[in-house]
Amino acid sequence: MNSTANSFPYSRYLAWIAALGLAAWILSRLPFTDLLQTIIDLGPSQWLVWIALNLTVIALLAGRWQLLTRAMALPCRFLQLLRVRQAGQVISFVTPGPQFGGEPLQVYWLWQRYAVPGHAAFLAVGLDRLYELWVNFAVLLLAVLMLLTSRSAAFVDWQIIAFILLGLILLMGLFGWYLLRKPLHTRDWIKRLGSRWQQNERLRNLDTHWSQLNDLLREVSSRQRPTLSLALGLSLLAWIGMIAEFWLLLSFVDVPLDLATFIFLFTVVRLAFLLPLPGGVGSVEAGLFWAFQALALPLPAAAGLILLMRLRDVVILLAGAAALPGLRSPLAAASES
């Protein structure tokens, strides 16, 4: 057990070394002489639009989570969820693969800091992640299907990628259906999985926790469908904001664009984020370097785009890190303003 547990930090360090090494190699091949000039040339109105777009996307995603918690009758305020969400993203960024990592701490913070019952905290985080992943894959699938009809990106076998994305979407849908229709089978599987820890005081009540979670999930899925649909709408609006922000960044670095080129670059970046590297470090840089070369686009523009994207990431991570100290001590939700 100890050797297995001790191996996780080493694997994380190896992932970071590989990611930073790949990023350094890619960046060394990009012309960075005019990078600072790219930032200096941005006018105040461009900065304001860029900041406003990012704040809007963050607010929409936190608002979606608030809708989901309201559907569960949880007394969580917008700013509380925003703090937990941004702090969790910091943890997700430093773990291999930016799609997961901070969720256990988000569950813990909801339970310990804001007095949310354990089963409800687990479901609140799980539903939010399910929405995020499902919409993420759905948007990517739509982009890949559009690229199937494009001749400018015909050098990639988009059919295989489309089948993989479709399979992931169907798999998540099947998982949700099975969870609702076969709760006892899922409970038995979880019990077998945690059989070695059955002496733990909390795990002894696994049946009770699972029944509470399943009852809450059934109630939300049957009685809160308008709210769930509205949460889906906020997810789509957030994605529109992310697409607009990427278009804005490309305009900042003067990339000659048509629709097919934009969809191709956007898809490459989003697929690179799915690779098991911390924060997409290295994979995003490599993907953009390859894409700009494949489309004969100017490499200085790729360097400027990478710089702007990473500048945005650093600012968002610093904001999330600033929220971490305030989540350490327990505090009832009703006592916060």
pLDDT in tens, 12-24: 556 556 556 655 6
Residues 238, 304, 158, CA angle at the centre, nearest 5°?
A: 60
pLDDT at residue 3 is higher than 50: no
Q: Is residue 133 part of a domain?
A: yes
Q: Which of 118, 131, 96 is nearest to 221 (CA)?
A: 131
Q: Is residue 82 part of a domain?
A: yes
Containing structural domain, residue 288: 61-335
Average pLDDT of the segment spanning 123-140 = 92
Average pLDDT of the segment spanning 212-225 = 83
Q: Is residue 305 part of a domain?
A: yes
Q: Is residue 234 part of a domain?
A: yes
pLDDT at residue 277 is higher than 60: yes
- For residue 332, is it left (φ>0), alpha (ψ between -120 and 50) or beta? beta
**Bigger pLDDT: 328 vs 172:** 172
**Bigger pLDDT: 99 vs 120:** 120
Q: Is residue 69 part of a domain?
A: yes
Query: What does the radius of gyration of the chain's CA atoms come to, in whole angstroms?
Result: 22
pLDDT at residue 246 is higher than 60: yes
Put simply, whether the predicted model's pTM sits higher than 0.85 gets the answer no
Return the amino acid letter for 263.
Answer: I
**Predicted pLDDT of residue 333:** 42
The number of distinct structural domains making up the chain is 1
Q: Are 91 and 102 in contact (CB under 8 A)?
A: yes
**Predicted pLDDT of residue 241:** 97
Q: Is residue 37 part of a domain?
A: no
Q: Is residue 135 part of a domain?
A: yes
pLDDT at residue 283 is higher than 70: yes
Q: Is residue 5 part of a domain?
A: no
